[in-house]
Structure 1
Amino acid sequence: MSHRNARLTVHGRRLLIARVRSGRPVAHVAEEMGISRPTAHKWIRRWRSEGDPGLTDRSSRPRTTPHRTPSAMEARVCRLRQDRKLGPARIGPIMDLPASTTHRILVRHGLNRLAFLDRPTGQVIRRYERDRPGELVHVDVKKLGRIPDGGGHKVLGRQAGRATRSGMGFD
């Protein structure tokens, strides 16, 4: 989804393509629409190669992460965390990794807080696991004071209210 101040939405890109297909110069159309010529050419090129689906927004997430820490090393970091209960600053030198990378690995695997782990076993504690949302029922409990007939201490005064409070309390 485009942000609200975007120069080109999917509709605007289709309009750009239509104007260029009608024979108008790309530079003129780009200037009218408030975008640069390279951006206009990018959308035209994408439309020519992919058709109408090429005009939709794409994810900015990279398809690959070539420098990501290998999974075997991530498993060793997690094992150190669970077995020895060490923090990122102490695991990093053992694994020859920066503490920030070690922390990122622990966050990715849900091991970043020692409070999330069961102390003796080192396993992640799952406090609530439910099959579907709303499965747990929430009940509010509130103290409600019993006010005697004729009013409480605000009407009768503090001493009078106490004297007549036989059995008064909370529900």
Structure 2
Amino acid sequence: MSHGNAALTRRQRLRIARLIIDDGWSIAAAAGYFRVSWPTAAKWARRYAELGEAGMTDRSSRPHTHPNKTPQLLVKKIVHLRLRKRLGPVQIAGRLDMPASTVHAVLTRCRLNRLTHVDVKTGEQARRYEHETPGALIHVDVKKLGNIPLGGGWRFVGRQQGDWNRQATPGLARDKHRHEILGYAFVHTVIDDHSRVAYAEIHDDERAETAIGVLRRAVSWFADRGVRVERVLSDNGSAYRSHAWKHACDDLDVRPKFTRPRRPQTNGKIERFHRTMADGWAYAKHYNSESARRAALPAWLHFYNHHRPHTAIGKLPPISRISNNLAGHYS
């Protein structure tokens, strides 16, 4: 039944049509028997005669013609102003002398109603891609985070208390101005393009040998879950452009690929993961020390991979896209 007020279900439509066409009932008699109008009975009888049982389904109510539809030339002008000038519906409507509601409807139909769909630099509609199988491409990158002093960092305790905590942290080196140097945590991250399953390790540097070690362990980690890595996409950092990185990829039978210079959008999936990781783990709560934050990463990664709904894959956890993940095997 298509709606709550429908007089006939699909089965009842077929019954009334068969009474008229197959059994020879008159339209008026069949309509009276099923307590529907004469035109309704005639409609289902006609569709049964033309299409058989397939004609008993509802048809689209969309009209065949749209006399008031926005002309295609005007649609192109709206799209051009949106992409090249990044104007909103009101500004576009003012330039083209048309209602802003119509402009918004056109932009929504063309998936340009949000500027996030438009590349900031080129003004072109964002092109999105996804490899069809897990392991066909993995993204790698490094997220640089400032270490947390004993007692907590300034984000949670304030600038003054944060400075005091830094001064009270033992074992820190000092710069030429005698300021304590906390250093950085380098989070080496790997994410599968198809499933968004993530792997990460924290190190004290981003040198080539460190990045290579992370890659080897990540490839092994994915292999344990039945995923064979075929390609790896990275930026043009010195660690990834080194001969050692190339030789390591050859040893692993993984093809290295690189983003365009000054074009981080090519590696956008891992850039977005870094934002999720920062919100969900790095800056999610107050940590009393850097070791406490580092200890919390494995638990958050497990939550991200196994339990957190991912909007890009139908609000399912990333691990659900790895075909051999038996129920409860990795949770």
TM-score (structure 2 length as normaliser): 0.38
Deviation at 1:130, TM superposition (A): 0.8
Identify the residue that residue 61 of structure 2 maps to in structure 1: 60
Identify the residue that residue 14 of structure 1 maps to in structure 2: 14
Structure 1: which amino acid aligns with 2:95?
A: I
Deviation at 1:115, TM superposition (A): 2.9
Kindly report which structure 2 residues correspond to 1:1-171, keeping only aligned pairs within 5 A, or say none: 2-3=2-3, 6-21=6-21, 22-48=23-49, 50-52=50-52, 53-126=54-127, 128-132=128-132, 135-139=194-198, 169=292, 170=295
Structure 2: which amino acid aligns with 1:42?
A: K
User: Across the two proteins, how many residue pairs are aligned to each other?
Assistant: 145
Q: What is the CA–CA distance in structure 1 between the aligned matches of 2:56 and 2:126, rounded to whole Å? A: 45
More off after superposition, 89-98 vs 8-17: 8-17
State the superposition RMSD in angstroms.
Answer: 3.0
Q: What is the CA–CA distance in structure 1 between the aligned matches of 2:36 and 2:98, rounded to whole Å? A: 44
Cα deviation, 1:26-70, whole Å, max 9, x if unaligned, reads: 23322332322221122223334x141433332222233232112
Q: Does the 8 Å CA contact 2:89/2:100 hold for their aligned counterparts? A: yes
Deviation at 1:100, TM superposition (A): 0.7
Q: What is the CA–CA distance in structure 2 between the aligned matches of 1:124 and 1:83, rounded to whole Å? A: 10
Deviation at 1:98, TM superposition (A): 0.8
Deviation at 1:102, TM superposition (A): 0.6
Percent identity, aligned pairs only, is 37
Q: What is the CA–CA distance in structure 2 between the aligned matches of 1:122 and 1:6, rounded to whole Å? A: 48
Q: Does the 8 Å CA contact 2:47/2:56 hold for their aligned counterparts? A: yes
Structure 1: which amino acid aligns with 2:13?
A: R
Cα deviation, 1:99-154, whole Å, max 9, x if unaligned, reads: 0111111111221122332223212234x5114377224249898xxxxxxxxxxx
Deviation at 1:92, TM superposition (A): 0.8
Deviation at 1:14, TM superposition (A): 2.2
Distance 1:79 1:133, change over 3 A: farther
Q: What is the CA–CA distance in structure 2 between the aligned matches of 1:26 and 1:13, rounded to whole Å? A: 13
Q: What is the CA–CA distance in structure 2 between the aligned matches of 1:95 and 1:36, rounded to whole Å? A: 48
Q: What is the CA–CA distance in structure 1 between the aligned matches of 2:133 and 2:15, rounded to whole Å? A: 43
Q: Does the 8 Å CA contact 2:18/2:45 hold for their aligned counterparts? A: no
* Bigger strand share: 2
Per chain length, whose mean CA-contact separation is higher, i.e. which structure has more relative contact order (CA < 8 Å, sep 6+)?
A: 2
Gaps of 5+ in 2: 135-193, 200-276, 282-290, 297-331
Q: What is the CA–CA distance in structure 2 between the aligned matches of 1:95 and 1:55, rounded to whole Å? A: 45
Larger Rg: 1
